[in-house]
Amino acid sequence: MLIHVVQKGDTLYKLAQNHDVSVDDIAAANGLSNQNVLVIGQSLIIPTEAASHRVRASETLWQIAQRYGVSLQELAAVNQITNPALIYPGQTIVIPQPARPTIEVNAYTEKFGSAGVEIVEEIGEYLTYLSPFSYRVQADGSFTTLDDSAIINAAYAKRAAPMMVITNFENGTFSQDIAHAVLSDPAIQQKLISNILATMKQKGYLALNVDFEYVPPADRELYNAFLQRLVDGLHPENYLVSTCLAPKLSASQTGTLYEAHDYPAHGRIVDFVILMTYEWGWSGGPPRAVAPLNEVNKVLSYALSVIPAEKIVMGMPLYGYDWTLPYVQGAKWAPTVSPKEAVDRAGKYGAEIQYDDESQSPYYNYYDEEGREHIVWYEDARSVQAKFNLVKTYKLRGFSYWVLGVPFPQNWYVLQANFTIKKLV
């Protein structure tokens, strides 16, 4: 696989001829519905195993490394290049073909019934875990139920382990009151744990994910104690236990979202943690990349200082947002856009896609029919490859997608080109 950025004058036919692949293969790898429309700046997967690359004018070794999904250091070493800045047009660069590391992949889904089953049947082969979202815990230790039997059966058919998700979510937000009621009462916790075990056995869940957010900071130690009780109750039944952690930069980070999430304690108590490394750019906030690599890397740096790498699962978004400009706080929130929709929209409005090197994310501006300016930040093959490179560099346990149901064909192709997916079923 290589990643090509569309330039003026490119056509699928020309690209297919240049790389000795078929037009249909390129279209399929990228989920292209219209083979005649390409957008300048759009990233395209070229499904070919490249053993070498001929340097083009103004091309850098870093760009070549990004295109083929290898590290700059590895590319320089293989080609005995002591100064990565000194390459020249026409030079042949050998592309190393590393063994694919084995990782775990989780994905959350809010799609149930036939729609959910269809998604699992399409991409379940790429998953270690499928996490239906979510069982909502109540203050008395009970929880709402899900009609999840169909997608659980579909998960098993694809050898994806169903992971039960419990949250303190209520009325569109995470409830501090529910979290406190549960965490401050051991009797309620025991009832909750009994209900969890009964449901896991009945439904066929193999793992549990605890996504308690906005826990009162004063309940930090109570939350840690609850997790230990969960592990003590579930491990004898051979169930895995994981948690979601807010993206912290340090142990002293303030804010209700962060303070009760004790990285060292979670890393010690549970089997693995999922870092929610997304939503820097969010629907109600100012425009920016959803998961900028520079910010994600800061969170990983702190996490790795207090949690073993083999217990860290990095969060990844499957979506972007379309903001209307100028951004006004409190005004209409930005709608979600899938990567496929983002490219189609750029084509519709004649926008040229840009790529921000710091955040390693694509974006573009356009004007709609009413003359309003928009900016779209989303994910593409380049941005997910950059995130995959982090997982490789730090030897993480894997990564977790939020959320299925957003069309992003490129992601799954890049995923299988980079990794072998561990299966527990």
Fold match between domain 102-317+393-421 and domain 324-376: no
pLDDT of residue 181 exceeding 70, the answer is yes
pLDDT in tens, 38-47: 999 999 999 9
Q: Which parts of 372-419 are beta strand (E)? A: 373-377, 398-402
* 122 is known as an active-site residue: no
User: What is d(CA 353, CA 365) in angstroms, rounded to the nearest whole number?
Assistant: 8
pLDDT in tens, 314-355: 999 999 999 999 999 999 999 999 999 999 999 999 999 999
pLDDT in tens, 79-115: 999 999 999 999 999 988 778 999 999 999 999 999 9
Characterize the bridge pairing of strands 173-174 and 169-170.
Answer: antiparallel
**What amino acid is encoded at 164 in this protein?**
M
Residues 20-47, mean pLDDT to the nearest whole number: 93
Answer CATH for 324-376 from 3.40.30.10, 3.40.50.300, 3.10.50.10, 3.30.1490.190: 3.10.50.10
Residues 149-153, mean pLDDT to the nearest whole number: 98
pLDDT band at 68 (very low <50, low <70, confident <90, very high): confident
pLDDT exceeding 90 applies to what percent of the chain? 92
Radius of gyration of the chain (CA): 23
**What is the domain partition of the chain in residue ranges?**
2-94, 102-317+393-421, 324-376
pLDDT of residue 279 exceeding 70, the answer is yes
pLDDT of residue 66 exceeding 90, the answer is no
DSSP 8-class letter at 126: G
Q: Which of 59, 170, 213, 370 is catalytic?
A: 213
Cβ-based neighbour number of residue 208 at 10 Å: 27
DSSP-assigned states of every residue in 50-83: -SEEEPPTT--HHHHHHHHT--HHHHHHHTT-S-
pLDDT band at 226 (very low <50, low <70, confident <90, very high): very high
- Residue indicated by tokens 């193999």: 206
Residue-level pLDDT at 2: 87
Q: What pTM was computed for the model?
A: 0.90
Residue-level pLDDT at 99: 80
The two tokens of residue 37 are 């429309």
Query: Which helix (H) or strand (E) segment is 348 a member of?
Result: helix 339-348
* Beta bridge partners of residue 316, listed in sequence order: 401
The two tokens of residue 281 are 């750019």
Residues 16-23, mean pLDDT to the nearest whole number: 88
Average pLDDT over all residues of the chain: 96
Find all residues with CB under 8 Å of 277, minimum gap 6, and list them. 247, 291, 295, 296, 299, 300, 314, 315, 316
- What is the CATH code of the structural domain delimited by 102-317+393-421? 3.20.20.80
- What is the CATH code of the structural domain delimited by 2-94? 3.10.350.10
